[in-house]
Amino acid sequence: MSQQSTRRQFLVRTGAVAAGAVIPTACDGKPAAPNEPRASARAAPRVVIARDDKLTRGKVHEHRDLLPKLLDAAMQKLRKTPDAPAAWRQLFRPKDRVGIKVNTLGLSTQPAVVDAIVAGLRQADVPAENIIIWDRFQVELARAGFKSRGGVQCRGTDESDHGSGYQRQIETKGKIGSCFSKIVAEQVDTLISVPVLKDHNLAGVSLGMKNFYGAIHNPQKYHDDNCDPYVADVVSHPYIRPKWRLTVCDATRAQYHGGPTFNPGFAWPFGGLIVSADFVAADALAAHMLEEQRKEKGMKPLERERRPTRHIATAGARGLGEADLSKIESIEV
């Protein structure tokens, strides 16, 4: 069976081939402005799955020219625009200070994917100096290949020399009590989460929402009960939820078991990106895709391994986004 046929069958199984999808709209039928919530419950959130078989071969950085094109195509589908700049401008404005939250624990976000995001932001006239690539630790960012260049800043929260560090006051939300990174609390006003498509030994998956455990000083405290409801508590905080514009899940290289640390025995060359403006919908569909891969490999569902993805359902029940797969428009690029 060809790679293309296998890919098509996988996407059909996960509901990724769809037509007639609807973008979030305001009450007047126009696309919602960046700071406006989705006004109509009838408007199904879109999740775009953008894949290219070339990405499954070689090193990801060898496809630096392909990734921006793939991401731009996904953004056009996501926002239903005639060109990529219009799509980026729907979500980002020139004055935005944008924080790109990567994941550098274990299987890391690929720098080439983040370069494609930066290129998209520049199409929306966001100055390079207004963009920060960040995670908890500078040493992990450097190890993963991230660095400041071209005006774009790259730094860990632990880099206090650059005005980072954690706020002194403890913020409470639900069951969490944490000090937040000054980067997310004070230095950016819009957020893009760039997780990796991978499983987690306690939460079931480590995706866009779990990625923001890297925004608090004490994530180790919140892993009981499959990290539920703590993940939802973190992302519902005003430092995160109102600022979160986009999820670009890096699925160029994925992992369906043994995470969140890197375990090459369960590597999955998915060769794509999962893109959505609804962060719960993005996680819900990505988790389902990971479960389908586990099933194909003859593995137990996460629920039977006592690590269900309950935090996604909790976030959906709280109205943070859509967790019901039947109400999500999934589209292939």
Cite the DSSP H helix spans in the chain. Answer: 3-13, 66-79, 84-91, 111-123, 138-144, 182, 230-235, 279-296, 310-317
Q: Report the candidate in 250, 257, 252, 249 with the shortest Cα–Cα distance to residue 284.
A: 249
Q: Which segments within 104-203 are labelled E, that is strand? A: 131-135, 153-156, 171-173, 176-178, 190-194, 196-200
Question: What is the model's pLDDT at position 100?
Answer: 98
Residue range 147-186, pLDDT digits in tens: 999 999 999 999 867 678 999 999 999 999 999 999 999 9
**Torsion angle of alpha carbons 212, 217, 222, 223, nearest 10°?**
80
Average pLDDT over residues 191-212: 98
- For residue 30, pLDDT over 50 is answered with no
Give 31-68 pLDDT, tens digit per residue: 344 444 443 445 899 999 999 999 999 999 999 999 99
Single-letter residue type at 315: A
CATH architecture label of 3-332: 3-Layer(aba) Sandwich (3.40)
User: Any bridge partners for residue 153, and if so which?
Assistant: 132
Percent of the chain with pLDDT over 90: 85
pLDDT digits (tens, 9 = 90+) for 64-105: 999 999 999 999 999 999 999 999 999 999 999 999 999 999
Q: How far is 138 from 157, CA to CA, in rounded Å? A: 7
Going from N- to C-terminal start, the domains of the chain cover: 3-332
C-beta of residue 226 within 8 angstroms of C-beta of residue 311: yes
Mean pLDDT of the chain: 89
Q: Which of 116, 101, 96 is nearest to 194 (CA)?
A: 101
Q: At what angle do helices 84-91 and 111-123 cross, to 10 degrees?
A: 90
The pTM of the full predicted model, rounded to 2 decimals, is 0.89
Provide the pairing of β-strand 272-276 with 98-102: unpaired
Spatial CB neighbours of 218, under 8 Å, sequence gap ≥ 6 = 178, 179
- CB 260 within 8 Å of CB 201: yes
Q: Is the model's pLDDT at 216 over the cut of 70?
A: yes
Q: What's the whole-number mean pLDDT along residues 221-244?
A: 98
Confidence tier at 23 by pLDDT (50, 70, 90): very low
